[in-house]
Chains A and B, each alone.
Chain A
Amino acid sequence: MTAKKRRSNGRRTREAYGFILPGVLYMLVVVGYPIVYNFILSFKDTSVRNLATGTSKFIGFQNYIELFHNPTFILVLKNTFVFTIGSLIFQFTIGYLLALFFYKKFTLSGPIRGLMLIPYMMPMAVTGLLGQNLFLNSGLINNLLSKVGIAGPAWLTSTSTAMIAVVIMNCWVGIPFNMLLLISGMSNISEDVYEASAIDGAGRMQQFWKITMPLMKDSILAVLMLGFIYTFRAFDLMFIMTAGGPLNSTDVLGTYSYMLSFTQYQFSKGSAVAIVLFLCLLLIGILYLLLLRKDDKEEEA
């Protein structure tokens, strides 16, 4: 390597770090530091009482032990999974069907696809507000139900139905998101594969199961994992629509952690709940990577 080239390489490296490092540092300060701080907090007994005096001390796993002995926390944990899995099943299925339709090329395909993203992009807080109105006892949903002879329940004031209403509102947001990502997965499959299989005599159903599904596997896995992560951390929707009620029936880890930290000012307890939330997401992330890796191995074999 000549001296000149080395000098130019050194300059290139300096330039590269000049562009990249501010962003990386920002991440370390506003994301990295809080995460570390959160872990430490969750092993202490910091609350509003000892915050000013700075006399909080380490208490080991005490916060976690108390949480898992607390029936409310167990309910909240269960709610979070019910909410997430319930939302995923419906938003994925409906999103997939819509993707199959809007993947087709026709004049209005693009513009309407775009319009359907509005529920996904609008403030989740407004979605919650709208949900409150739609599920009123004399609201739109019960009005429509009464037209087909069904007496609708008191959705948001009954512990057995509030979760259903929240899941429905969340699906309304999740469907366009799933649809959009699945369409872009479908666009990556070459038309030639379908044409070749049609010549070989494959029917529509055969094409769907033998071509679309296997080739879509990566996109489907990615959509499900992203969907899980975005749904599991829910907060805004419940906070506005039901405030976690009635009787914690729509309380999820996000709202419960907030309540512990900022209604009861038990910061360490709130942090511990956030850590549980984080660990669940981490597990899903690892599971996703394992599934991807298994695929690669199968392909190599």
Chain B
Amino acid sequence: MNQEPDRIKSLPASEKRRHSREWHRNLRLSVIAVIIAVVFLFPIYWMLQLSFKSDMETFGKVLTYFPHEFTIDPWMANLGDKDFIASLRNSFLNGLFTMILTMLFGIPAAYGMGRYKVRGYQAFLLIFLVAQMLPASLMLTPMYLTFSKMHLLGTYAAPPIAIAAGAVPFAVVTLRPYFKSVPVTLDEAARIDGCNALQAFFLVMIPAVKTGIITIVTISFLNGWNDLMYSMTFNVKPEMRPLTANIHKFQSKYGTKWNCIMAYGAILVLPVIFMFIFLQKYIVGGMTAGAVKE
């Protein structure tokens, strides 16, 4: 949309008017968009501003809309607590292990489904499509009983295995169209140059669908990071649990110190915000690719 100014100068008067109209329209729409975003995202701002308030202001009679005395004490109350740090580490591990499982099982399957037509293709596709939509409640009780028999309860492996049950099919459904859209000549050329199937997959296909891979890596990490149900059911000990599953524990510790509670929540939201700032152009496109095109 960016027009170079000197080009505009050389245009006839009617064209100039059109450009000026364009520019005004753009400005008007952008201002409205900012207003919508400010209203819609106000709860996020609310959480952040509360997390920088002193105890006194938090308990004050008057509700203030921004911290009058700015303090990072609520953040330090969390970050200086070794139970909190342990939970933070567990959240990270949950995300990491879910991501690894998704890459291991999801990406190759997406490639296979996008590139080859084999017997059972329709059935496989149906399995992935349906699995992606199943409620976790349906798997929770049987998995708990099975994990209990296998002595997997109270291990770091149990929640990611269950979370990946949703993340793997999402990866297959989302990535399959990406692999399909890569020209067949690309991996054929690689094969003629002497690559075997695995080499062609790793050296040619994965780089060719980088955008989709970034989406899947990010979202599968967030699936693990965001999980509550599996993590609290399979890990009974608080020191094994991620941040999401320890919310009630910390809430009873902080009581009505909402500044500390909101700092706790803000730290949980931070990775999401960072990923959106740095990766949003990949993720926004990638998310719709799988959700609608099927």
Contacts and interface: CB of A to CB of B under 8 A. Distances in A.
Contacts of B172: 23
B225 A108 contact: no
A143 B110 CA distance: 50
Interface string A90-113: 000000001001101111111111
B259 to A, nearest CB: 10
B30 A258 contact: no
Interface in B29-81: 29-30, 32-34, 36-37, 40-41, 43-44, 46-47, 50, 63
B109 to A, nearest CB: 3
Contacts of B141: 38, 41, 257, 261, 267, 270-271, 274
B51 to A, nearest CB: 11
A65 interface: no
Interface stretch (A119-127, A153-161, A190-198, A207-215): A119-127
A38 B142 contact: yes
Interface centre among B33, B139, B164, B248 (most CB of A within 10 A): B33
The 5 closest A-B CB pairs, nearest first, are A23-B109, A19-B112, A16-B116, A233-B135, A114-B280
A13 B118 contact: yes
Contacts of A277: 135, 137-138
- Interface SS of chain A: helix
A181 B276 CA distance: 18
A23 B106 contact: yes
Contacts of A275: 138
B186 interface: no
A222 B281 contact: no
A235 B229 contact: yes
B40 to A, nearest CB: 6
A27 B166 CA distance: 9
A185 B288 CA distance: 9
Contact of B281 (A110, A116, A125, A138): A110
Given A27-B169, A122-B226, A123-B225, A254 B135 contact: yes
Nearest to A111: B280
A181 B292 contact: yes
Nearest to A23: B109
Given A114-B276, A172-B43, A258-B140, A98 B128 contact: no
Nearest to A36: B142
A238 B195 CA distance: 52
Contacts of A34: 138-139, 142-143, 146
Interface string B1-32: 10000000000000000000000011001101
Interface residues of B, number: 87
Contacts of B138: 34-35, 38, 274-275, 277-278
B192 interface: no
A291 interface: no
A166 B207 CA distance: 43
Interface of B: 1, 25-26, 29-30, 32-34, 36-37, 40-41, 43-44, 46-47, 50, 63, 101, 104-106, 108-113, 115-116, 118, 124, 127-128, 131, 133-146, 161-162, 164-165, 168-169, 172, 197, 201, 222, 225-226, 228-229, 233, 244, 247-248, 251, 258, 261-262, 264-265, 268-269, 272-273, 275-276, 280-281, 283-284, 287-288, 291-292
B34 A108 contact: yes
A240 B264 CA distance: 14
Contacts of A107: 1, 26, 30
A267 B113 CA distance: 37
Given A16-B115, A107-B26, A267-B141, A134 B288 contact: no
B137 to A, nearest CB: 5
A56 B137 CA distance: 22
A301 interface: no
Contact of B269 (A111, A126, A184): A126
A269 B288 CA distance: 37
A123 B244 contact: yes
Contacts of B268: 122-123, 125-126
Nearest to B37: A112
Given A51-B145, A180-B288, A257-B137, A115 B276 contact: yes
A108 B197 CA distance: 43
A296 B143 CA distance: 40
B265 A129 contact: yes
B15 to A, nearest CB: 19
Contacts of A115: 37, 41, 276, 280
B109 A125 contact: no
A20 B176 CA distance: 11
A271 B34 contact: no
Contacts of B143: 30, 34
B168 A23 contact: yes
25 contacts: A16-B116, A23-B105, A26-B165, A31-B134, A33-B142, A102-B33, A106-B29, A107-B26, A109-B29, A114-B280, A114-B284, A115-B37, A118-B272, A118-B273, A122-B268, A122-B269, A126-B268, A133-B46, A140-B63, A183-B288, A219-B292, A222-B291, A240-B247, A261-B140, A275-B138
